[in-house]
Amino acid sequence: MTQPPRAQPKRAWQRMLSGRVLDLIDPFPLDIEIEDIAHGLSRVARWNGQTIGEWPFSVAEHSLLVDDICCMLKPKITRQERMIALLHDGPEYVIGDMISPFKAVVGGDYKALESRLLRATFQRFSLPVEPSKATMGLVKRADRASAYLEAVNLAGFSEDEARKIFNPPPGIEHDTMPIIPLPPNDAKARFLDRFNALFGGQDC
């Protein structure tokens, strides 16, 4: 009796421009390259692209803004904490930026995939795989502040609506920091410059 053909396993990897092949289910840290992250994040739009301006506001720019806000919230921040802030959305270079309401619908599988990729990213760049609660709390506060600023300045939210949804930390106002969407190559270059300065032990 002829056996039916076996179903081919579904592809769960992505080839990067660097030539690396990243397993999305079980990511190997050495397959993660900062050039791939910067390239991808500079081309992923925040808010599903529903923002004003000639260019989408990219995840790369959001990451830079979160780092800037972390520095404002904690003047004596360490370079390690800043790198964690800069890379906090690193997985989105392969899985995209899913808006929070949709994440809630998708649930645990997405979160598990995102967590594995983030842990591998941190390991790749010699960061704690599980940063302290204090560090992650700081990044989350900065992330909320960034979302608030983006919502009011780019995404059409009223200030009252954005405050209720994102609950930014005290002292963050809608004009705290300028937000200007950049062309992807400019956003990529700024992201890489910031990463290289922090990874190389310089102040930036």
CATH of the domain at 164: 1.10.3210.10
What is the number of other CB atoms lying within 10 angstroms of the CB of residue 99?
11
Residue 41 lies in a domain: yes
Residue 20 lies in a domain: no
Q: Backbone phi, then psi, for 45, in 5-degree steps? A: -90, 135
Give yes or no for a contact between 2 and 90, defined as CB atoms under 8 angstroms apart: no
Residue 163 lies in a domain: yes
Residue 10 lies in a domain: no
Residue 69 lies in a domain: yes
pLDDT score of 103: 61
Residue 164 lies in a domain: yes
As a dihedral over the C-alpha atoms of residue 84, residue 88, residue 91, residue 95, rounded to 10 degrees, the angle is -170
Query: The domain containing residue 152 runs over which residues?
Result: 29-199
Q: Which residues of 118-149 are buried (b: 16+ CB within 10 A; e: fewer)?
A: bbbbbbbbebeeebeeebbebbebbbbbbbbb
Residue 75 lies in a domain: yes
pLDDT score of 5: 55
Residue 9 lies in a domain: no
**Run means of pLDDT, 10 residues per run, the chain, 204 residues:** 58 90 94 98 97 97 98 97 98 85 64 93 97 98 97 97 95 91 98 96 65
The pTM of the full predicted model, rounded to 2 decimals, is 0.90
pLDDT score of 6: 58
Measured CA to CA, the distance from residue 125 to residue 34 in angstroms comes to 9
pLDDT score of 183: 98
Helix (H, G, I), strand (E, B) or coil at 14: strand
**How many domains, the chain?**
1
